[in-house]
Structures are given as structure tokens and as C-alpha cells.
Amino acid sequence: MSVILRDVCFVRSGQKILSHITWEVQQGDRWVILGPNGSGKTTLLKLISGYIWPTSGTVEVLGKRFGTVDLRLLRRKIGWVGSFLQELIPPGQKVFDVIAGGVSASFGKVYGCEVPFDAVERWARVVQCDSLLDKPYGVLSQGEKQRVLLARALISEPDLLLLDEPCAGLDVVAREYFLKTLEHIAGRRKTMAVLLVTHHIEEVAPFFTGAVVMKAGRFIASGSSDRVLTDDILKEAFNVPVKVLRHNGRFALYCTVDLIRPA
């Protein structure tokens, strides 16, 4: 198993953010996690990566139970792409050093280990950001930043890849390129588990093997995408009438909301 959660709860300032989550992710699984804002999706990824600690329940990641392992070492086998990381990267840091930092799951220059020049250049070519290696991270476009973070996540050859809204802020072409790149990499790393958080059903590409829908810190449905991504389940999650369409293996969602006019 890549991830095993047993009756996990997470409470912050007296508010329960995650409630009694039990979930298993096997090697090579590709899961998408959907739900409205505030449903606990990003918190779930932070917990799996060890950046926060469960209030109750047990967490086991890559065969290591939290409380019995040095999380700093474990994170070196967990790749992460998302806004959570973007906020931690100094805008003046060179792209080369951003990618190299993935080796030690750290930020800033890599100290205490050999800088993997060949690996940085190789993964930069894979995600097509090799022309950016000498540029400061802060001057990049959103799409370029996401490609750099993907290269950073992959340089350590992770066994688990966490993606927190990686397509946020991307135009439709950049989004499709990112998803195609992800599909290509997942095809090469068949034992690597992938967990993707998104608000948009359009990002559920055919290579995802399962889907979870969250609401108010709970799983309201989990299983195959065909079984979970339905009108009734997503209506329950978002509290509005919805219609799910599918074409060539991809999903689309239409919803109807009432405009509340001021008195």
C-alpha cells in the first residue's frame, strides 16, 4: 500500500477539518479528489505528506507508520506540486536550484549532498522547462511554475506524487499539456501512486483509476470515476443541481445556481 488511513480526524482551533477518514491507496493507483472549497482536500494531502499531524487515527505512508519514522526522510519519496509549495520558494531562486531542492525535499540551495546536474537537466527536458534553468522562479508564468514544480517533484523518483490543484491558473492549452505530461510520466512510473486534488471535473483524465468526493471533511463517495462522478453525488457535494457529461473518456459538469439579489 502507498497510503493507509484509519479513522483519521484533524481538528484545528476546535473545528473538525477531517472527520473519520478511512482510505487505502495501492501502488500505481491514480486517484482524483474533488469537492467544494473548505471540504478538506488540501488538508488531506498535507496530512499524508506529514506537514500536519492527525488529531486521532493512524496514518501509514509508503509502508511507514507516522510516529515511527523520520518524516523529513519520508518526504524525499513524496513528490508535491501545488500552491502550498509556491508560497515557500524565494522568488529570486534560480529554477535549477528549485528543481534540485526536490532531492532533499528542501528549499534554497541543496547542501550536504551532491547537486544532481544531470538529473535536473533530464527532468527539466521531460517537462519542457529546460530553457528556464537560469531564470529566477519569480519571473515565470503560472504554467512555467507548475512545470518547474513537477520537475522538482519527480527528480527524487518518488513513490507517491501529490498534486494540489496543479492546473489552477492555467489556460486550457497549458492545462492539457500538463495533464498529458502527467499521463506520460505515470505511464513510465507504473508503481508510483498519484493523488490529484481539483475543483474541476474536466481535469479527470482517463488514466485516473479512482475518484473521491469530499464534503465538510468527509468522504461522501469513493470508487471508480464512472461510479462516483455522477449527477446525484456531485449535487450532494456542491448543493446545486448538476449534469455530468462524458465524451471520449473526459468529463464535463454543468450546474444551475440561483442568483440571490440584494433587497
Selection from 81, 92, 13, 6 nearest residue 45 by Cα: 81
Helix (H, G, I), strand (E, B) or coil at 110: coil
Burial status of residue 19 (CB atoms within 10 A of its CB: 0-12, 13-18, 19 or more) = middle
Domain map of the chain by residue range?
Answer: 1-62+159-174+188-263
**Largest Cα–Cα distance of the chain, in whole Å?**
65
CATH (residue range 1-62+159-174+188-263): 3.40.50.300
> Is it the case that residue 27 has pLDDT exceeding 50?
yes
Q: Which three cell numbers stand for residue 190?
A: 507504473
Q: Which three cell numbers stand for residue 213?
A: 468526493
Tell me the whole-structure pTM to 2 decimals: 0.89
212-225 confidence digits (pLDDT tens)? 999 999 999 999 99
Mean per-residue pLDDT, 246-263: 77
pLDDT at 41: 95
Helices and strands per DSSP (H, E), number in the chain: 9, 12
> What is the percent of the chain where pLDDT is above 90?
59
pLDDT band at 108 (very low <50, low <70, confident <90, very high): low
Q: Which three cell numbers stand for residue 78?
A: 513524496
Inter-residue contact 172 to 149 (CB < 8 Å): no
Inter-residue contact 224 to 206 (CB < 8 Å): no
